[in-house]
């Protein structure tokens, strides 16, 4: 496998991990604690050391490396970690373990067909799981550790059972690789995808290997060579350039592109590709001319997306040439603005490469776009933690179902909103809720990471009271629809304004215009007055008679004697419409 790195034995990494550390005592103490708790021959010992070494190569801080060495043995021992090391490391370890709740459930372990990749509908489940990493931790450091853990698991996948191998590979492809991309870690993203590709789609992977004439490493070596040559040419021609990104295409990425071209290798020209970033549009065209001066272009492979941008706004000059040793190489030439928009705007990788519509991209991937922008603006990836609290999901709340699924709701949503998000029937029969295994009020606003269990009853139906606290349009619409179908009257989507209406929602239709109020008799309905009333002719109650109010559709509250036979019949059929009433002092 071209991308599977040689797995270094754990013991040989001990010195490398603490080498050049700013606080070597922290790292060395963590290694000692790890050895004492699991032993040198345990898989977890070698695994933890390899994870720490991955993080070291990622230029992570000593605290992150130390936390990575402790995250398996520190489960449930936050105070002990705090005493042995410090509060910060204890927090990171605790956050890493909190992320263990995020995983694919068994019922989702179905490997999708690669041939349907280009047509697949946006996967809300996988997207919500990715978001949950940031919601639970509000810290980038535990996420870096989880990415390193996942990378080592993928490199040592044979150590796990076949079922676990499938789950780990699928999660890596659909959750962790996009996370790595969002953090600007293209190499980790590419390796995770390739390792998952080989495990989940072995026939397709082998087919591709047999048809690629050279291994990935050889292509990468050639790219370094042509990059060096190009820089020399531009220097000789005195053409300024800001940066040159060079890369050889990863296998999974290549296979997906082949699918779009009906598996025709002749249409794949970017097995070897370089992106040249220059100061201005004029420089783009100058560089294009210089490249063609030194290497002959392939016919019909010059694309001017600057003069004629793609439909999604993508701009660049593309040319494919026969470069060193007559090898086909693609060049993409852009200004910083074009590069910024291509990487972070609506023309970004996820929309441009994965056939997701602009609308869905804007609605669903805005957080990844924002994250990549922040990544560009921060010197160290760990510094992103300071932004997570307020930059990504300020108006959303993410909660768990008992089966481990993640549900994305507006901030302030309640258990009733959650119930309707699962299914209309669960919402309609929602009787009680357990939040984090404790019985709670249906109206209580949910918090990020809450575990929500809805208890239903055949005898429970939507209540107008629910309209006072639900947040989602879906819940409000479904409650309204049920009430109108079963109680036979129109229900406003917006909560009533009056204070008394908040207590008795059935009175929502009978608030009169106070300027037109001309009733001489003051009657209290509940504890409030000022509502449109009529005196029932069937019993004609007079001041002093015990009375009750029946709420009608059009005429407000109809006042009956408490012992009225007609009222008794109405109360038997529609008890929710009968409300206590009493006489007040007559109006002057």
Give pLDDT < 50 ranges for the chain: 1-4, 106-107, 118-122, 344-356, 358, 360-366, 377-379, 381, 383-392, 494-519, 588
Residue 131: the pLDDT is 67
Residue 497: the pLDDT is 40
Residue 123: the pLDDT is 54
Whether 362 is covered by a domain: the verdict is: no
Residue 100: the pLDDT is 74
Separation of alpha carbons 549 and 14, rounded Å: 81
Choosing from 151, 172, 200, the residue where a domain stops is 200
In Å, how far are 111, 131, 166, 320 from 203, measured between CA atoms? 13, 32, 15, 30
Predicted TM-score (pTM) of the model is 0.58
Residue 404 domain boundaries: 397-487
Number of domains in the chain: 4
Same domain, 151 and 228: no
Residue 349: the pLDDT is 38
CATH of the domain at 97: 1.10.3210.10
Same domain, 14 and 112: yes
Whether 350 is covered by a domain: the verdict is: yes
CATH of the domain at 281: 3.30.460.10
Choosing from 462, 487, 512, the residue where a domain stops is 487
Q: Which residues contact 532 (CB under 8 A, 6 or more apart)?
A: 510, 511, 512, 517, 519, 555, 556, 557
Same domain, 175 and 55: yes
Separation of alpha carbons 49 and 293, rounded Å: 51
Whether 376 is covered by a domain: the verdict is: no
Span 368-423, pLDDT tens digits? 555 555 555 444 545 444 444 434 455 778 788 887 777 888 889 999 999 999 89
Whether 261 is covered by a domain: the verdict is: yes
Residue 521: the pLDDT is 67
Q: At what angle do helices 202-211 and 251-260 cross, to 10 degrees?
A: 90
């Amino acid at each position: 496998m071209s991308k599977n790195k040689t797995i270094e034995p754990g013991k040989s990494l001990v010195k490398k991990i603490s080498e050049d550390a700013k606080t070597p005592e922290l790292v060395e103490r963590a290694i000692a604690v790890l050895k004492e708790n699991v032993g040198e021959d345990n898989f977890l010992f070698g695994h933890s050391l390899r994870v720490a070494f991955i993080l070291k190569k990622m230029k992570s801080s000593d605290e992150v490396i130390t936390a990575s060495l402790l995250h398996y043995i520190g489960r449930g021992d936050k105070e002990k970690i705090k005493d042995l090391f410090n509060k910060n490391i204890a927090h990171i370890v605790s956050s890493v373990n909190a992320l263990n709740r995020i995983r694919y459930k068994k019922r989702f372990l179905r490997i999708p067909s690669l041939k349907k990749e280009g047509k697949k509908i946006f996967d809300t489940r996988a997207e919500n799981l990715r978001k949950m990493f940031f919601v639970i931790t509000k810290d980038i450091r535990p996420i870096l550790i989880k990415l390193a853990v996942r990378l080592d698991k993928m490199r040592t996948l044979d150590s796990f059972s076949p079922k676990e191998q499938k789950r780990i590979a699928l999660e890596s492809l659909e959750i962790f690789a996009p996370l790595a991309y969002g953090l600007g870690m293209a190499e980790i993203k590419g390796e995770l995808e390739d390792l998952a590709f080989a495990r989940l789609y072995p026939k397709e992977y082998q087919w591709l290997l047999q048809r690629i004439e050279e291994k990935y490493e050889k292509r990468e070596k050639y790219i370094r060579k042509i990059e060096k040559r190009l820089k020399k040419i531009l220097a000789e021609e005195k053409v300024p350039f800001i940066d040159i990104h060079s890369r050889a295409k990863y296998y999974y990425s290549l296979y997906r592109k082949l699918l779009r071209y009906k598996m025709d290798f002749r249409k794949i020209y970017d097995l070897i590709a370089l992106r040249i970033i220059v100061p201005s549009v004029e420089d783009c065209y100058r560089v294009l001319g210089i490249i063609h001066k030194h290497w002959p272009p392939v016919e019909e492979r010059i694309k001017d997306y600057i003069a004629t941008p793609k439909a999604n706004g993508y701009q660049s000059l593309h040319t494919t040439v026969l470069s060193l040793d007559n090898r086909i190489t693609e060049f993409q030439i852009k200004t910083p603005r074009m590069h910024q928009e291509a990487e972070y705007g609506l023309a970004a990788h996820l929309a441009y490469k994965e056939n997701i519509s602009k609308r869905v991209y804007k609605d669903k991937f805005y957080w990844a776009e924002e994250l990549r922008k922040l990544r560009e603006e921060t010197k160290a990836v760990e510094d992103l933690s300071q932004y997570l609290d307020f930059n990504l999901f300020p108006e959303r709340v993410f909660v768990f179902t008992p089966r481990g699924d993640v549900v994305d709701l507006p901030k302030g949503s309640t258990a009733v909103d959650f119930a309707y998000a699962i299914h209309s029937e669960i919402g309609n029969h929602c009787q009680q809720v357990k939040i984090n295994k404790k019985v709670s009020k249906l109206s209580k606003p949910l918090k990020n990471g809450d575990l929500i269990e809805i208890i239903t009853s055949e005898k429970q139906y939507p209540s107008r009271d629910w309209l006072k606290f639900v947040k989602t349009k879906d819940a409000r619409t479904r409650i309204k629809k049920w009430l109108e179908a079963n109680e036979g009257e129109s229900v406003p989507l917006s909560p009533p304004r009056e204070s008394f209406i908040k207590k008795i929602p059935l009175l929502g239709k009978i608030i009169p215009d106070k300027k037109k109020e001309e009733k001489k008799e003051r009657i209290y309905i509940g504890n409030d007055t000022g509502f449109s009333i009529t005196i029932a002719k069937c019993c004609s109650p007079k001041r002093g008679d015990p009375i009750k109010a029946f709420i009608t559709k059009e005429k407000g509250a109809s006042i009956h004697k408490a012992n009225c036979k007609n009222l008794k019949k109405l109360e038997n059929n529609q008890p929710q419409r009968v409300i206590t009433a009493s006489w007040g002092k007559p109006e002057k």
